[in-house]
Amino acid sequence: MINADIITQQNADRLERLNADYAALGAQLDRRGIDIARIKSKVARYGVAVPSWGVGTGGTRFARFPGAGEPRGIFDKLDDCGVIQQLTRATPSVSLHIPWDDAPATDLNAKAEQVGLRFDAMNSNTFQDQPGQTHSYKFGSLSHTDAATRRQAVEHNIACIALGEKIGSKALTIWVGDGSNFPGQANFTRQFERYLEATQQIYAALPDDWTLLTEHKMYEPAFYSTVVQDWGTNLLIAQQLGDQAKCLVDLGHHAPNVNIEMIVARLTQFGKLGGFHFNDSKYGDDDLDTGSIDPYRLFLVFNELVEAEGTPGFNPMHMLDQSHNVTDPIESLMTSAMEVQRAYAQALLVDRAALVGFQDENDALMAATTLKHGFRTDVEPILAMARLEGGGAIDPVATYRASGYRARVAGERPAVSGVGGGIV
Ligand SMILES: [Mn+2]
């Protein structure tokens, strides 16, 4: 973890400027009828989960270029996630990926308590083979033509639930790479029937207070067809399984230019929005840092979420899911968590009564302008003040760099080649 004295010193250097910026923004918002303290307290309560696999360097089909001091296993990963939360106060939980993070529950709980974290959704893995595995997932898992392979995939998911129950998780996220690479290779209908039948068995093992999240993805690793390829298929799954089944929206898993915020609205309207994997993309499922390409789209997603706040039963899970190839993963995850918070704060600033009025009057220009007014507001002083008051850093990246954390762990962690940089 980062020495508290460094955080205090770094914050002291920036406090005067922050106070001035916060006061100026407060005055501006006051003129708009917005109480800055109310926005700040909502931002302070907001949290986004960090994926355990995010703290390792990712990679592409072509290469992986490991960084210094990469985590050697789940306990190093939890140290890194603890630093992200310590400095940003925006990431109170970690989402584990099994079997990459498999460890005794007592050890996981002890480490989480030590670094000030709790556990978010469990993620199963039936898209790659593990050493000693009986049946291969080369041709699929939950939708495989072979019943024993499907059974193996079901049992793995049930084991993920069992571990999750011991560490305080309340959700299982399922993503499968099942599909086909050639027209004719698989029968769409029979393949989906097999998937539904297998997933129903996992659903039957779900504790009463758990949510089953299914995640759709348009393509890759199957490049012709993917079993759970779009939000329509995902909604069918959630409707077929039952009330505890909901859809997970990964921002990168859609065709280019798809209106993701409208998908969010549709799933919300029918009580099936289960959660998010935040990231950004330029071309496909690029897994770039959240908000790095299209922050306005992220804002529009949060506009829908703020619109739905207070709806009974509306409580989607929020998680980052991205791949870091050229940056320090800790810096990327801190920046991304703050981008998510920023989009939330901006969406909270939208004058909703005015927006409804312009919509009802069909004043398209003023409706669009009213919405964008929130996005155009620089809310950084709100985020920074929430971090400061929560014990974090006014400037997390600068403070992290000043701490020398990466150099220190690089000395403690010998380079390893086998760390899973996988992303889902
Ligand atoms: Mn994902």
What local confidence, expressed as pLDDT, does residue 30 receive? 98
- Compute CA 284 distance to the chain's CA centroid, rounded to the nearest angstrom: 17
Q: How far apart are CA 152 and CA 142, in angstroms?
A: 9
Distance 370 CA to ligand 1 centre (A): 32
What local confidence, expressed as pLDDT, does residue 45 receive? 98
What local confidence, expressed as pLDDT, does residue 423 receive? 55
Distance 258 CA to ligand 1 centre (A): 17
- Compute CA 29 distance to the chain's CA centroid, rounded to the nearest angstrom: 30
Distance 29 CA to ligand 1 centre (A): 36
Q: How far apart are CA 206 and CA 197, in angstroms?
A: 15
pLDDT in tens, 348-364: 999 999 999 999 999 99
Distance 415 CA to ligand 1 centre (A): 27
Distance 10 CA to ligand 1 centre (A): 34
Distance 326 CA to ligand 1 centre (A): 20
Sort residue 56 into left (φ over 0), alpha (ψ -120 to 50) or beta.
beta
Which pTM does this prediction carry? 0.97
Average pLDDT, the chain: 96
Task: Give, as one character, the DSSP assignment of residue 280.
Answer: B
- DSSP class per residue in 184-205: TSS-HHHHHHHHHHHHHHHHHT
Distance 420 CA to ligand 1 centre (A): 15
Q: What is the dihedral of CA 104, 107, 110, 112, to 10 degrees?
A: -70
pLDDT in tens, 138-156: 999 999 999 999 999 999 9
Residues lower than pLDDT 50 in the chain: none
Distance 355 CA to ligand 1 centre (A): 32
Distance 250 CA to ligand 1 centre (A): 5
Distance 254 CA to ligand 1 centre (A): 11
Helix (H) or strand (E) holding 156: helix 147-166
Helix (H) or strand (E) holding 232: helix 231-241
What local confidence, expressed as pLDDT, does residue 376 receive? 98
Torsions phi, psi for 318 (to 5 deg):
-120, 125
| Residues, beta carbon < 5 Å, ion ligand 1 | 250, 277, 321, 424
Distance 404 CA to ligand 1 centre (A): 31
Distance 398 CA to ligand 1 centre (A): 28
Distance 197 CA to ligand 1 centre (A): 23
Distance 215 CA to ligand 1 centre (A): 7
What local confidence, expressed as pLDDT, does residue 414 receive? 83
Distance 19 CA to ligand 1 centre (A): 38
Query: CA dist 275 to 211, 212, 251, 380, Å?
Result: 10, 10, 11, 25
Distance 423 CA to ligand 1 centre (A): 7
Distance 85 CA to ligand 1 centre (A): 21
Distance 277 CA to ligand 1 centre (A): 5
**248: helix, strand or coil:** strand
Distance 394 CA to ligand 1 centre (A): 29
Task: Give, as one character, the DSSP assignment of residue 229.
Answer: -
